Amino acid sequence: MIVGLVIACEVAFWVLLAAGLTFRYGLRMPRTGLALLLCEPLLEVVLFVVTAIDLKNGARPDWRHGLAAVYIGFTVGLGHSTIKWADARAAHRFAGGPPPVKPPRYGRARAVHEWKVAARWILASLVALALLQSAIWYVGSAGDTGSLRQWQLRMLWLIGINVIIAGSYTFFPKRER
C-alpha cells in the first residue's frame, strides 16, 4: 500500500504541476494556477500520515516506509526548485517571459551553482534522515528497524557524493577555453 501511495504522490505531483502551469499560463488564471501549485505539499502530508498510521497499526517497518520518508525528503529539498524550473520554462514558452537562465559553465560561478544544487540534495537527505530516525524512535526497540537504518546509510552516501561533486568544482574549476 505504501509503495502505491508513493507512486500516486509522484504522479499527482506532476499532474498538479502541469495543471497549475496550464491554468497559470494557458488559461490566464494565475490565482487558480497558484492554488494548484500550493496543493503540492498536501501530497506529502497525506503520505506522512498514512505511513505513520501504518506503523502505528503494527506494520513491520521495512523498505517501503523508508522509501516514503526518502520521497518526502526529496520533495521538501527538490520540489520547490523543480516547480521554479518548470515555471520559468512555461512562462517563457507560453507567456512571453524571458528565456530561462542557464547555469554558469566556468569558474567560481559554476562552483557556487554546484554548491547550491548540492545544498538542495543535502537538505533532501537531511529531511529523509530525520524522518527515518523519527520512524525508528516511533517503532522503538520492539521492531526491526534495520531496513530504515539502511536507508539512512544511503542518505549519508548521497550527502557525501554531493559534497564531492560540488567540492570538485571548487578545487578543480572548469576554465574557459
Work out the angle between the directed axes of helices 2-21 and 30-38 (0-180°, nearest 10).
160
Evaluate the CA torsion angle 169, 105, 162, 120 in order and state its sign: positive
Residue 176 lies in a domain: no
96 backbone φψ class: left, alpha, beta (φ>0; ψ -120 to 50): left
Q: Which pLDDT belongs to residue 177?
A: 82
From first CA to last CA, the distance across the chain in angstroms is: 53
Nearest Cα residue to 10 out of 44, 34, 54: 44
Residue 27 lies in a domain: yes
- Separation between Cα atoms, residue 177 and residue 158, nearest integer Å: 32
Structural domains counted in the chain = 1
The verdict on pTM exceeding 0.85 is yes
Domain that holds residue 10: 2-171
Q: Which pLDDT belongs to residue 126?
A: 98
61 backbone φψ class: left, alpha, beta (φ>0; ψ -120 to 50): beta
Q: Which pLDDT belongs to residue 41?
A: 92
Q: Which pLDDT belongs to residue 100?
A: 94
Residue 177 lies in a domain: no
Neighbours of 12 (CB within 10 A): 16
By the 10 Å C-beta count (0-12 exposed, 13-18 middle, 19+ buried), 104 is classed as middle
Q: Which pLDDT belongs to residue 144?
A: 81
Nearest Cα residue to 41 out of 12, 70, 2: 12
- Separation between Cα atoms, residue 141 and residue 144, nearest integer Å: 8
Provide the Cα torsion 170, 160, 130, 51; round to 10°. Answer: 120
Q: Which pLDDT belongs to residue 82?
A: 95
**Angle CA 6–154–119, to nearest 5:** 85
Low-confidence ranges of the chain (pLDDT < 70): none
Q: Which pLDDT belongs to residue 141?
A: 76
- Separation between Cα atoms, residue 6 and residue 64, nearest integer Å: 9
Q: Which pLDDT belongs to residue 101?
A: 92
